[in-house]
Amino acid sequence: YGTAGRSLWTVFEITFSGGWPNYARRLVEEVSVGFAWFFAVYISTVVFAMTRIITALFLKDTLAVAANDAEMMIQEKTREKKAYAAKLLEVFEAADASGDGLITFEEFENFVNDPIVKTYLATLELDANETKNLFCMLDDGDGHVTAEEFVQGAVRLKGVARSQDVVSIMHDFTRMGRHIHALQSSIHELHEKL
């Protein structure tokens, strides 16, 4: 110990070298037992602070990895959606026998009757067993399906949460809404003529 500088050096060694019992024992045994309290509080504080710093560093790294993981999941889902849409476009192009960018019911029925196509559609989570139902769910009521209708309809049909039954009901309501609107317009025109 001796001077103030040597005392600070000793405190530095006590803190970072792990040899604190060698220095503390001399003070406790030769000078005063009161130094035992000082060293107990000092070492406990330093160990607690170091533990908190190390924990904070681990926590920071873990949160950074978790944030990066969430971003990666979003990017992965986006990639999956794009890949799914690309596969659907390939199916659409294969089904469009006339090459006019529209699929009629006849084209769709001929395409879906192939067992390989049914299997491929099943891998895309589309049930092609009821051809007319599937076509009606994809069609917006004009008798043919465009590429956009095909992709949007197939995406709606994909997955457990959106079953074909729910989409079929939604499609029927949309069609009924159009018919009701047309009927209202006709009634309104008749009413004005009278």
Find the distance separating the first CA and the last CA of the chain, reported in whole Å: 114
Q: One digit per residue, pLDDT tens: the chain, 194 residues?
A: 568 887 777 776 676 666 667 767 777 778 888 877 887 788 788 888 888 999 999 998 888 887 777 778 888 888 988 888 888 888 888 888 888 888 888 888 888 888 888 787 777 777 777 777 778 878 887 888 888 888 888 777 765 445 566 777 777 888 899 999 999 999 998 888 87
pTM: 0.47
Three-class DSSP category at 104: strand
Spell out a b/e string for 94-132, using b for 16 or more CB atoms within 10 Å of the CB, else e: ebbeeeeebbbeebbeebbeeeebbebbeeeebebeebe
